[in-house]
Structure formats: C-alpha cells, structure tokens
Structure 1
C-alpha cells in the first residue's frame, strides 16, 4: 500500500474520516497544528497498528530495510483493520527539512479532503514480504534500538514509549 505519483497517504484505524483538519498531536514534540502524511518511501513505516512500537532501519544507498516489533504485538498485527487515505500531495510540504525528524513525513497546515474513501490496507505481514522488508520479532526492542542507533544505517523509532521496559543491566 503506497501512494501513486503526486499522492501521499495517511494511515488510520478509523475508516470514517471525510475531512482532515490540522491539529496538535498529543505526542507532538514540535509546535504547530498539522495533518500528517507520508510518501511512497516512508509508507512501510506505517504498516503497523497505530500504537505498535517499532524500530525501523534502512540503508539509504541500497535495498536493505529491517523493521522490528515485539512478540506482544503479533496478534494485533494479524487482526488490526488498518486503512489508508490518499491525498493530493500539493497541499503538503516536507516536515523537518533539517535536524531531527527530517524527511520522515509531509504535513499540511490547512484542512484536506481525501481523494476517495479509506482503503483497507490488508495483510501487514504480506505487505512487508512483498516489499522485501525484513520483519524481525523480538522479546524487547531496546537492545536492537541501541545497536541500530550506534551503527551506520538510517533509522527511526516509532511509538517506543509503548515498548516493553529496557532490560535491567
């Protein structure tokens, strides 16, 4: 599930939204009200239940891409009903063009209406497989996160506050 050229996507577990209005996200670390979306390259980052903690790592110069989740989220990944909304990319601009968060999303600062109804995303495991994304399942994300952050790969951690606590030691 990726946007067509000239489009961006917003992923949601709510298939009934007809108009997106900029808002300050409860988890925001930056000021401003936005409608958030992603381009084709970052769509796989959101092939998860909304609250699912995950670590994403990729080689900017090559096809290597790894996503990691915890065992406790597998059932939710199998059963979640995830939807994608398609938008014309014109009202969106890159968020965080420099510094933290650079390039991970696009934002609109005005209300936007989807190009059509929400589309069911489908089998999240199949999406990963078809895209050639390695999906790792771990007892705890923190050791993998620490390795990824220390290494050469580009990386992102999403909803890590929902991960199991760091192992002692």
Structure 2
C-alpha cells in the first residue's frame, strides 16, 4: 500500500474517518496541532498495528558495508523492520486501513523528513482502503521483517551504526533486559 505522486497516506485501524482535523499529539514536543501522513518512502513504517513497537533500519548514503552486513545481513537487502514476537498475532490479524490524502496540502516534517503534516482540516480523497496482508507487503517491498524477544539490543546496535533508522511506539516495547 503506497501513495501515488499526488497523494500521501494516513494509516488507521478506524475505517470511518471522514475528515482529519489537526490535533496536538499526546507525545508531541512541539505543541502544534497537525494532521499527520506519510509519503511513499515512509509508508512501510506504518504497515503495522498502530500501537505495535517497531525498530526500523535502512541503508543510507553514509552507511558502511560493514554495518549493513552486520545489522541487516549480507545479501538481505537494504532495509529491516523488527518487532517483538508478542506482536506477531496482532500483526497477522489487524484490520488496517489507508486513507489517501492530497499531497499538495502537506509539507515535510523533521530533518530529515519523517512525515508529512498539514495544519488544515483535510478530507480524504476517497473511502478508507483495507491494507491487506502486512507480511506480503513487506516481502513484496524487499523489506526483512525480523521477530525478536525484545527490541532493545537490536535498537541499540542500530542507533550506534551508520544505518538510517526510525523507532515507532518503542514505549510499548518490553522493558530492557537487566
């Protein structure tokens, strides 16, 4: 599930949204009311249940071959997503939906951009579209999906590497092992 060039996507488990009203996210550090969406490059970050903690890493222009081979794996592509085993059944059974929104109403957020945002109320371009088999989406995109008992050791390796990365809902991960 990816947007075309004139769209961005908003992923949700709610298929009944008819308009997106800017809100201040509970975890926001900037305090601005926004509507959040993602472009094509960041869409795979959201092929998960909303509350699922995930650690993601990919090859960037400054990534060393050693880090790519060590963390992603030799011959295993250029991107890996990791979740905890406890989230696998939820990943397999979630009813996830994507809303297509007009890209011209959004601007990049963050450096480098991690999302697209708008301060306007936005109406979707159509009804919510079911996002089907999340495992197949990962496979078709060439993204490794790794299952771990606990995310923290992997996450620590990723953030100390030369890979580019993103962690979403990490507060929902199991505690760090002692």
Shorter chain as denominator, the TM-score bin is over 0.9
RMSD: 1.1
In 2, distance between residues paired with 1:41 and 1:125? 18
**Which runs of 5 or more residues in structure 1 are unaligned?**
none
1:7 aligns with 2:21: no
Tell me the TM-score normalized by structure 1: 0.95
In 1, distance between residues paired with 2:83 and 2:170? 10
In 2, distance between residues paired with 1:133 and 1:4? 20
| TM-aligned CA deviation for residue 60 of structure 1 | 2.1
In 2, distance between residues paired with 1:160 and 1:40? 23
Equivalent in the alignment of 1:156: 166
| TM-aligned CA deviation for residue 29 of structure 1 | 2.1
Write out per-residue CA displacement over residues 125-165 of structure 1, whole angstroms, 9 at most, x where no aligned residue: 01000000000000000000000001110001100000000
List, as ranges, runs of 4+ consecutive aligned residues in structure 1 with deviation greater than 4 Å: none
What is the number of residues matched between the two proteins?
164
Equivalent in the alignment of 1:41: 41
In 1, distance between residues paired with 2:166 and 2:5? 24
**Which runs of 5 or more residues in structure 2 are unaligned?**
64-76
In 2, distance between residues paired with 1:30 and 1:127? 32
> When you count helix as a share of all residues, which structure comes out higher?
2
Local SS of the residue matching 1:129: helix
Equivalent in the alignment of 1:129: 139
Tell me the TM-score normalized by structure 2: 0.90
In 1, distance between residues paired with 2:92 and 2:126? 26
1:111 aligns with 2:125: no
Local SS of the residue matching 2:145: strand
1:79 aligns with 2:93: yes
Write out per-residue CA displacement over residues 88-124 of structure 1, whole angstroms, 9 at most, x where no aligned residue: 101100012x3xxx31101010100000000000011
1:26 aligns with 2:40: no
Q: 1:45-84 maps to which residues of 2 (within 5 A)?
A: 45-61=45-61, 64-84=78-98
Q: 1:88-103 maps to which residues of 2 (within 5 A)?
A: 88-96=102-110, 98=111, 102-103=112-113
In 1, distance between residues paired with 2:104 and 2:160? 36
